[in-house]
Amino acid sequence: MKGRWWITLLLALMLTPVLSSAASTWSIHAYAPVPGEDAMVLRETFLSANMEAPSRPLESATVDWVWWSWSDSTGSDWPNDDAMYRKQHFNLSSSTVNTTGHQVEHHRITTDLVDMTGRVNIVAAEDNARFVTFEVDITPRVNLSDQTLLYLVLTEDRARDVHLRHVNHLVRELRPEVAFSLKANNTTSMTAMLAADHLAAAGVDLTDQPTGWSYTIAMFGGTQGSETIELMLLKHDRLPAPMLHLTAAQKWLPLTITAVALVAMASIVAASSKRERTVPVLKARWTDIERSVMTLTLEAGEVPFTVTQWSVQPPWSFRGRPPVRTFEAGEKVDVLVRFKSTHDAECHLESTIEIEGFGAWRQHVWLSSPFQRSETELEVNETE
């Protein structure tokens, strides 16, 4: 790849009028800076057809890419093109992966060979299709080898397919990039894109599901003249959204100006230490009556509030919606909620409320499937 500089220049010249013309019709819905610190370990897991994988410890500094390559044989709607590409990259046969899965770990080198700054944007085009752009500056500290390659990867934090398979950190989209300089101290300012049509083909809908996604920027390569391919850079973070959730349970908030206003309100309330005394408490548990019946406990804080709307995420659906009503300060009520059928997937409820003097809020509760009930049920609560 000698003489690669002129390819980079040609690509930049070709893309500049296209990007500047398109940018005039784009609107940025959310953005966030690329993390300053790198993660240290990248772990690629290739699932077997029966969802088996090597056991792995939970490590906060580890980035996970989980690959699924069995959609053609299982009827899954998860994408598998990029997984097939990575299997070929590592010379993995289907029989090897289909036994107990396979795992590859990459450890970031301790020496900083490349600097990267910039930001990640969620953008809407004229047709309102959402996509992701990466506006980054890349500066090698040393001359890099011609084998150096940058990967942009989008993963789903908690993925579910049409057959209700579940997996965390599923890779939905991978894009390789080479349009940057390999010369020491030569900064390349580039805009890379995960296009809307590619995301749609991979099952990513950032309009209806703006949260629940993460991105990785990984650079593999080495110094000039070296034949060794190493992990030189590893940036990883949640995909930006107008409202960032506090847990991995995320999802389901529309990208609107109202959501941004709610973030500001949440910050103010939390900063003033009034949130715990003001925000109502929403809890849920499965009853002993039958598996499709849940008990919701609603307890008002120091001020009255009104529930204006209830919703539940598929595949769950209400047989009768919980009541829409006003609660006085300190009032506590238990409500039975019935569902049309029971599912293996966790149940995610959302309520829209108006708190007197504090405006509109949303509350979420996630409860593990009643088929997975134990003495300690999984319940995750979130208020925004």
CATH code for the domain in which residue 378 is found? 2.60.40
Q: What percent of the chain has pLDDT over 90?
A: 42
**Selection from 111, 92, 102 nearest residue 45 by Cα:** 102
Both 36 and 150 in one domain: the answer is: yes
Instruction: For 235-281, write each residue's pLDDT tens digit.
Output: 999 999 875 533 444 444 444 444 554 554 445 444 445 666 778 88
For 196-255, the DSSP string reads: HHHHHHTT--TTT--SSEEEEEEEEE-BTT----EEEEEEEEEPP-SS--SSTT------
Both 187 and 39 in one domain: the answer is: yes
Domain end: 206, 238, 270, which one? 238
Q: What DSSP designation does 177 have? A: E
Is the pLDDT reported for residue 1 higher than 80? no
In a domain? residue 199: yes
Number of compact structural domains in the chain:
2
Neighbouring residues of 206: CB distance < 8 A, sequence distance ≥ 6: 122, 130, 131, 132, 199, 213, 239, 255
Both 232 and 193 in one domain: the answer is: yes
Both 308 and 230 in one domain: the answer is: no
Of the segments 13-22, 48-57, 241-250, 334-343, which one has the largest average pLDDT value?
Answer: 334-343
Which domain, by its residues, includes 145? 4-238
Is the pLDDT reported for residue 21 higher than 50? no
**Selection from 169, 194, 189, 166 nearest residue 179 by Cα:** 189
Domain end: 189, 208, 238, which one? 238
Instruction: For 166-210, write each residue's pLDDT tens digit.
Output: 999 999 999 999 889 999 999 999 999 999 999 999 999 998 899
In a domain? residue 252: no
In the chain, beta strands by DSSP E: 27-33, 41-46, 62-67, 102-107, 114-124, 130-140, 149-160, 166-177, 188-194, 213-221, 230-238, 281-286, 293-299, 305-312, 318-320, 326-327, 332-339, 347-355, 359-367, 379-383
Both 209 and 283 in one domain: the answer is: no
Both 166 and 223 in one domain: the answer is: yes
Both 22 and 170 in one domain: the answer is: yes
Q: Please compute the mean of the pLDDT values over residues 339-364 and round it to a whole number.
A: 85
In a domain? residue 47: yes
Check residue 124 and give its pLDDT.
86
Going by pLDDT thresholds of 50, 70 and 90, the confidence category of residue 10 is: very low
Is the pLDDT reported for residue 113 higher than 80? yes
Q: Which SS3 state, helix, strand or coil, does residue 100 take? A: helix
Q: Taking a C-beta distance cutoff of 8 angstroms, is the pair 128, 29 a contact? A: no
Check residue 360 and give its pLDDT.
82
